[in-house]
Each structure stands twice: as C-alpha cells, then as structure tokens.
Amino acid sequence: MRIGVTSVFVDDQDKALAFYVDVLGFQLEDKVPLGEYFWLTLVSPADVEGTQLLLEPDQHPAAKAYKTALSADGIPVMSFAVDDVEAEYRRLLDRGVVFTQAPLATGPVVTAVCDDTCGNLLQLVSPAP
C-alpha cells in the first residue's frame, strides 16, 4: 500500500493552481471538470510518479472550520520536504511568499512556515546542516 493522492483544501482552485505551480514549482498532473470545480492534481517535478497533491475546494463547512482552526493556531496543514530550507525561504521570499515562521532549527531539522494564499499554512522541512 502507498499514498497515491493527498489533498489540501483551498478557497479558490485557480488561485491555488497559480500559487502551487507558478510560485512553489509543482507541475499540473490532471485538471478534470467536475461541475463548477475540478479534479485538480499536481506532482513534484522531483517525483512525477510520486504522491499527487489534490487542490480540493473547501466548500464543505467542515473543511472551512478545519482550515480556520489550524491557521488560527499556527498549525501547518501540509509539510513539504526541501533540500535546504534557508535557500527555499530566500527563493520564496523573492517571489512574494509570506512566511509566518522564518527558518528555525528544531533538533535534526530546519523548518519554515508560509501562507499559501488559500487559507493554509505550509511547512518546509530539511535536514539540519
């Protein structure tokens, strides 16, 4: 058994697609119309056969409550592995990404937390130098 798709609830699929592709660097895998929304999946260019990220509409009241509660408590909804958090932090700052936590060494890892513009906090993680 392996993880095929994992999802993140977003308030606007078009805005999320632009952020996750144009800013973070993911690649579009599928964009299949489903009524007023899409089955919208992305993959990492570093692992195109790996887990897909579904940008899922947050229209269900529980999804909105979940996102709001996590964000209010500063809890990231997703964690992305990067080679070097410091370098990725600088790259994303240059692209206008807002961080709620600058790179911070926490034991064996360095983490940073940013806002995805769609109601979520995302954590970046790399091994500590």
User: What domains does the chain contain, in order, with CATH numbers?
Assistant: 5-127 (3.10.180.10)
pLDDT in tens, 59-107: 999 999 999 999 999 999 999 999 999 999 999 999 999 999 999 999 9
Q: What's the pLDDT at 31?
A: 97
Q: Is 92 helix (H, G, I), strand (E, B) or coil?
A: helix
Q: Distance from first CA to last CA of the chain, Å, rounded?
A: 33
State the residue for tokens 């990231």. Answer: 76
- In whole angstroms, what is the distance from residue 117 CA to residue 102 CA? 17
In sequence order, what are the beta bridge partners of 111? 104, 125
Q: How far is CA 88 from the centre of its chain?
A: 14
Predicted TM-score (pTM) of this structure: 0.94
